[in-house]
Amino acid sequence: MLHKMRSVSTLAVLSLALLGGAPSGSAQTTVKVLSIPPSALQPAGFRNNALPWVMTADAFYFANNLSAPVDGYAYAPLSLPHQARIKSLTVYYIDNACGKEQELVVALTRHDMATGKIQAMAKATTAGVDCRPERRTVEDLTIGNAVVDNDRYSYALTVLFADGIDRLRFLGAKIRYQ
């Protein structure tokens, strides 16, 4: 009788796995998502304070009308669970800037609190994409130093608006982790 129960139990677990289910307990791994809205960004740096910027519920951008565009930076501090493993960075954006130098670069960064060193863990860029005024996404699945260590590092989303013009718009980002 015990042998039959084990066979049925094993069959049930295999069936769940084949049908997309998962057994409960520690064997289950759930991918979670941290969403970063555009309203979380803060312009940074002395030069950025001179640039006009716009933050709404659905977009962040620099409203730069200067004859010589400059780079604009914005940051969002992140609170990730200790020991989480980062799986991907997905960025939602509009890049209607047709110049080669005009691109959006979004990086998941970590700051070593003991040494001050900042490292990019993931980076998504609009370099090389054609310019269109519609919402799009870009994703980075190659994560360096993927395990979160809150004892040593703090984390942020860093957004570079290269040439800081208003046709580059950050619409949000998602970080997937386990």
DSSP-derived secondary structure letter, 64? B
Spell 59-85 as b/e; 16+ CB within 10 A means b.
Answer: bbbbebeeeebbbbbbbbebebeeebe
Is the pLDDT at 150 greater than 50? The verdict is yes
Question: Which amino acid, one-letter code, is at 26?
Answer: S
> How many Cβ atoms from other residues are within 10 Å of residue 145's Cβ?
13
Q: What is the pTM of this model?
A: 0.79
Name the average pLDDT for the chain: 82
- Mean pLDDT, residues 141-156: 97
Give residue-wise pLDDT tens across range 77-104: 999 999 999 999 999 999 887 766 788 9
- Looking at residue 99, its pLDDT comes to 67
